[in-house]
Structure 1
């Protein structure tokens, strides 16, 4: 059974009262996963929606013998809805646990029953899904940019929009490389440059944005797809 307090603060259910939340709480199964656990693989059949009570989960795909990170989800996030909504669809990506995590799991049958009784939930799901599609399009655009410095700047800006000026997310250089289609050595070089230039600060793997305007300049793309003139270009290494 899920935590009513958690459900109350979850965007899907913010319009529901405590009695309604108490009625749906038994629909969710609570599962705890160890760090490194594989939740599902790309092309698996999917019939479960996952909501993160605590911990972190990485969504990724394998492209040309390398891992590409599509998203990292934390407490209050959900995932797995696409394969759940369309039973003919297989999982479009894989998911693994980055740290010990507690998830609330909802099966397809219970999910559709919940939508039938509470149609307002569908509006919230649609809104969040559209936002994720927009971000996916941004990611595709970023991966076509040859300038690693620009790709990394755009990633930092997206993360700061979600997590704040101090990005509340400990990322390794390899994870940043997998999120920007580059290599770890290039990420290390670019982040060191940005820190020396006073644009960011890194403490205990957490990045703080000190000069958002300059990162926006570095990350800017002209309408014709060319990069704005933002100075030296970091070469892949």
Structure 2
């Protein structure tokens, strides 16, 4: 029978914990392979120290046979060598947690980079569409109080954006200055309250609120399709709200 020293035994245990132990405790998968690997460690340790002080009855039976076998060998190793496997395991788990955190940070950076790339693509698409809109010569007739889909575009930061390939969003024509330009207020289907919003009821299939703080001057070349409107009384009330907001 080949004898091995305690130092050699400790190295065997250390190597096993680094290569198998962390993976076993963190994932609890591929138990057949793990049992085979730890069995090799067990055979070496048992040849050196025998099986005394190893009581399999100490293992929780609810864990299942294969898991219990692995834990049983670990307890035997700990009993025979005096090595604190718990401390070693926790140190390895701390290293694993650090690696996991680093990986999560890297994934977050990649995700952020991907989102920035998508934003860049949207701006590039809008820039192409905007050039086509600028060369448009056909201007539809419109008047105050109407709600139109317009090419809102891809805008900066908290400025309201359009949706879809045409960057569309419904907008209320608040004030018509000429056939070419008007003062408009974009809408949202999210039900909002407060001084920056005004409920105009159903436009098409959805309830809409005006985003008063996003009032802006628009070119009539952006107009796409007329989808509804509001009455003169409501239009007057909205203009009063705008006056209150900017005073």
TM-score, length basis structure 2: 0.23
Instruction: Please say which structure displays the higher CA radius of gyration.
Output: 2
- Greater helix proportion: 2
